[in-house]
Structure 1
Amino acid sequence: MKAPPETKRADTPLARTSAAGTIEGYASLFGVADTGGDIVMKGAFARSLAKRGAAGVKMLWQHNAAEPIGVWTTIVEDAKGLKVTGRLDLSVARAREALSLLRAGAVDGLSIGFKTERATTDKASGLRRLQAIDLWEISIVTFPMLTQARIEAVKRIAARTPDDMRAALARLRAQEAALRFQHRLQSARL
């Protein structure tokens, strides 16, 4: 019988955002027990990342396979845990909603969806140590199982001044005037 996929949620806060919806954080931390009694060990993701790479790990909303909301651009194990950088696809309505919630601080959790490949259970404590994990997806979630797994950065677009906005409006008006002139020239030739 095939084992069902598992999910682990980690809490690490998300604080900066870019106009492109870039996010950064830790999806998992090494050596920290989550609320489900699992501890991810350093190196647990190595084989999966070598096989799949960041492009092969899906970015989902709340572990819902029907709601992909972006792509992970970088996933690496460092001394602390599984560090991730990704980009929300802002042409997707749910990704725009997620970005808004992230910026407001209403949502900031990350959670991994995986299949356990190798683990041991400590009989005295009942804690399961995950030594090898086949990572399938990383979700942005409301309540991560590992409370420290959080988005640490939602990169913000630089604030625009009124002068910046007036200059942008002037450029648009000039482009519109040029297009109208070009259209009149073409109509006169016909």
Structure 2
Amino acid sequence: MCSRERATGSPPAPSRRREGEVRFAGYAAVFGRPDKGGDVIRAGAFAEALRRAGEVPLVWQHKAGAVVGRIEHLSEDKRGLRVIAAVEDARAARLVGGGKINGLSFGYRVREASAAGGKRELIALDLVEVSLVANPMQPRARVHAVQAGLRSQT
């Protein structure tokens, strides 16, 4: 089960790594910045989703049946939706660990939004999944650190 928190806080202590897995930290969503489609996520948009119980799967390229690992920690901070996860799938772990795939994204359902000037502000969202992707809709949604030693990827 992953931990969830609303406010900024210390992430949980690293869990024991399984052989071949890669742990990473990054942002699946970034607040206040338009994505390639013009959507802007308001800070706090995930607050209710993070309060609700249930696992959020870590999947490959938004494919529902392609679970590649587990999310250990999800939280909102001033920047966005921060994720710490472990990639267990061998191929995905090699790609993330080698820096070949560093995009993040998320699947969602809109609970509340507003539109103005051709842009949509996402105010409240249900979080369906977090994805490792080659080409994120939000260019700033990236893996920022990869374990061994959580080396920087920026």
TM-score, with structure 1 as normaliser: 0.66
Give 2:93's aligned residue.
99
Give 1:113's aligned residue.
107
Instruction: Work out the percentage of aligned pairs sharing the same amino acid.
Output: 37
1:38-187 to structure 2, matched below 5 A, reads 38-52=39-53, 56-89=55-88, 95-122=89-116, 125-156=117-148
Deviations 1:84-103, CA, capped at 9 Å, x for gaps: 001122xxxxx211111122
Larger helix proportion of the pair: 1
Give 2:8's aligned residue.
none
1:9-20 to structure 2, matched below 5 A, reads 20=21
Runs of 4+ in 1 over 3 A off after TM superposition: none
Structure 2 residue runs of 5 or longer lacking an equivalent are 1-16, 150-154
Equivalent pairs counted in the alignment come to 131
Larger strand proportion of the pair: 2
Larger Rg: 1
Structure 1 residue runs of 5 or longer lacking an equivalent are 1-17, 90-94, 158-190
TM-score, with structure 2 as normaliser: 0.81
- In structure 2, distance between residues paired with 1:102 and 1:60: 13
State the Cα distance separating 1:56 from its structure 2 match: 1.5
Give 1:23's aligned residue.
24
| Pairwise CA RMSD | 1.4
- In structure 2, distance between residues paired with 1:69 and 1:146: 21
